[in-house]
Structures are given as structure tokens and as C-alpha cells.
Amino acid sequence: MDDLERMPEVALEWHRAGRGAVLATVVETWGSAPRGVGAQLVVSNDGEMAGSVSGGCVEGAVVVEAIEMGAADAGRMLEFGVSDDEAFAVGLACGGRIRVWVEPVAAMGALLEEVVASRAAREAVAYCVNVETGEREVVRNGHAERFRADQSGMEGDVFVHIHNPPLRMIIVGAVHVAQALVPMARLAGYDPVIVDPRPAFAAAARFPGERIVEDWPDEALDALGLDARTCVVTLTHDPKLDDPAIERAVRSDIFYLGCLGSKRTHAKRVARLQEAGFPEAEIGRIHAPVGLDIGSRGPGEIAVSIMGQVTQVLRKG
């Protein structure tokens, strides 16, 4: 998980260490805001900070407010205008306005612990706080569209902060396309996992620093777990490897399944699945041939087409 996405964990660590912690969260933006809704900054009692709510424009003012709050029971709403000059200094063309909800971790109590534990378990939760009354709760149901779109925001006086599990891409087949796809997935915010039982392909030298599972795909997917924040891409062309992964994936909650191969290859794949008793609704979840039809050639362009289609399905359904 990216360090900027770990602010709840950092805030809880500092609080447990007795350093005190205040969590500042962007709840609304207008115009050209350096960071989006949901971005967070943690401030300790001695002024150390982690994260960001503006890319540098207003951090100083937020730190001052946070230190003054100390261990107060109530949160506070701050509003800032970012001038054109300040915006330009952090790489933006023009200014805007942001609202930041500043809340002592001590006031959040066990709710922050619940959020952090849920994130570690890859469970989607929303932290909801009424910015007028201070009433807080952690919810798992409702806000379906916000969870799907990964979009925090204000609903009347209540700020709904969506905490989805990190996006994950499981790639079956440590082939050339995978070598191009893995870094693209990382840039797009995914945690990639490469699955391939063949030692010659699943070599660490081919994927430096990446997680490789050298196991049969069905067993690997069972161990990894499949959820609504996971996508699966099969790239081996070998039914012995691809089919077991596909059979697991079509009956899971993953948001995307794409399979490499020509239309003829996919027709044979469909026939095998039908013979195995898979209904049309499950088979229809497969995107094949994998990727957007952009006339791609070679591993790099195929990886671009796959990443584009995964993004399209994630954001548009």
C-alpha cells in the first residue's frame, strides 16, 4: 500500500505510542485542488506530520490548528482558499478552495482501530462523521455507489470516508506481457501478484521486487482470496493453467476477468467451460480476447490495452 494511503495506520501507531495524533482529512474541494477528497494528514503533538492534504499549500496552517486541538473531544472544520500563486508553486495552473476536517485520534476511540483492522483484513468499510454534531460510526452496508466508485464525500452534514481494500491484480502466467503489465498496474495503484508454477517463467530476475506465487493457479487463487477489489488476468495460453484460474474467478466477487487468446482460442475455452457445467452468466463475465480493441501489437501495447479495459470496467462498471 502506498505510504500516502496509510494515514489511518500511522495515526493509530502514533496514538498508541503516546505521541498524540490528529487526523486531518480533505472533505470537499472546489476548483484546482492539489489533493482529492479523502486525502489525509497526520500531526503528532510535537508537530511531526505524515501525509498531505494540499501538496504544501496549507499544511502549515493545518499543523498549527492540530497542535492547538491536542486531545480535544470534538473535531473542527477548516476552510482554505488556495491562491493562484500558491497553486502554481505545487504544480497546478490555478487555485481553488478546500475544506479539511481535523479530528483528534483520541476522540475517534475504538472506531479508528476498527477501520485499521478492517483495512488489514481487506474488508471495505466507511467511517462516517457528522461534522456538526460530532457523531461517528463505522458502517459496512449502504453507500453502495460510493464503495463501487471508491468515492468519499459529504452527504448533508455527514462526511462518508470510504476505506476500500487496495486494488489488486492477479496475473496468471509470468510471460512477456506480464513483464510489461506489472509496472503499469503499479502505476495505476494496483498491488500485482504473479502466479505461475513454472520455475523458468516465475523467476525473480524476470520480475524484480514483485510478489511471485510459484503454485498451480487454482490453489494460488484459493490462498490469495478473491474479492471485489481484485481483478484477474490469465496470460498463459495453456488450458492446464488458465482454466483452473478462470473456473475460480468466474464464481468469485472479482470486478474483472480477462483472458489472453484469439477468438478461436476463446471459443474453445467457452466450450470447455460449458462442458464442465458453467452457465452462460458466469462464462459471460470473461473479457476475451483480453483488452480494449486498439490494434495492439507486442507485449507493451497489449499490456496498455489490458490496463485500459481494467480501468474502464472498474470506473464505469
pLDDT over 50 at 43, yes or no: yes
**How buried is residue 293: exposed, middle or buried, by Cβ count under 10 Å (0-12/13-18/19+)?**
exposed
Out of 164-168, 214-218, 280-284, least confident range:
164-168
Task: Tell whether 70 and 218 lie within a shared domain.
Answer: no
pLDDT at 198: 96
Task: Tell whether 37 and 126 lie within a shared domain.
Answer: yes
Rounded to an integer, what distance in angstroms lies between the CA atom of residue 61 and that of residue 234? 49
Task: Tell whether 38 and 133 lie within a shared domain.
Answer: yes
Task: Tell whether 22 and 158 lie within a shared domain.
Answer: yes
| Predicted confidence band of residue 90 (pLDDT cuts 50, 70, 90) | very low
pLDDT over 90 at 94, yes or no: no
Out of 66-80, 99-113, 253-267, 289-303, least confident range:
66-80
| Predicted confidence band of residue 98 (pLDDT cuts 50, 70, 90) | confident
Identify the domain boundary among 134, 163, 192. 163
Identify the domain boundary among 145, 163, 181. 163
Identify the domain boundary among 163, 193, 226. 163
Write the pLDDT tens digit of every residue in 7-25.
999 999 999 999 889 999 9
| Predicted confidence band of residue 52 (pLDDT cuts 50, 70, 90) | confident
| Predicted confidence band of residue 85 (pLDDT cuts 50, 70, 90) | low
DSSP state of 168: E
What's the chain's average pLDDT? 90
pLDDT at 93: 46
Residue 224: which domain range? 167-316
pLDDT over 60 at 74, yes or no: yes
Residue tagged 480476447 (cell numbers): 289
pLDDT over 80 at 73, yes or no: no
Contact 171, 299 (CB under 8 A): no
Q: What is the CATH number of the domain that holds 291?
A: 3.40.50.720
The DSSP element (H or E) to which 82 belongs, if any, is strand 76-82
Task: Tell whether 251 and 294 lie within a shared domain.
Answer: yes
Give the mean model confidence (pLDDT) for residues 151-159: 95
Task: Tell whether 13 and 158 lie within a shared domain.
Answer: yes
Task: Tell whether 261 and 274 lie within a shared domain.
Answer: yes
Number of domains in the chain: 2
Closest CA to 123 of 131, 132, 114, 111: 114
- Go through the chain and tell me how many residues it has: 317
Give the mean model confidence (pLDDT) for residues 189-195: 95
| Predicted confidence band of residue 199 (pLDDT cuts 50, 70, 90) | very high
Give the mean model confidence (pLDDT) for residues 249-275: 96
Task: Tell whether 212 and 91 lie within a shared domain.
Answer: no
Give the mean model confidence (pLDDT) for residues 224-241: 94
pLDDT over 50 at 286, yes or no: yes
pLDDT at 92: 45
pLDDT at 56: 66
DSSP state of 164: P
Task: Tell whether 287 and 304 lie within a shared domain.
Answer: yes
pLDDT at 81: 75
pLDDT at 34: 64
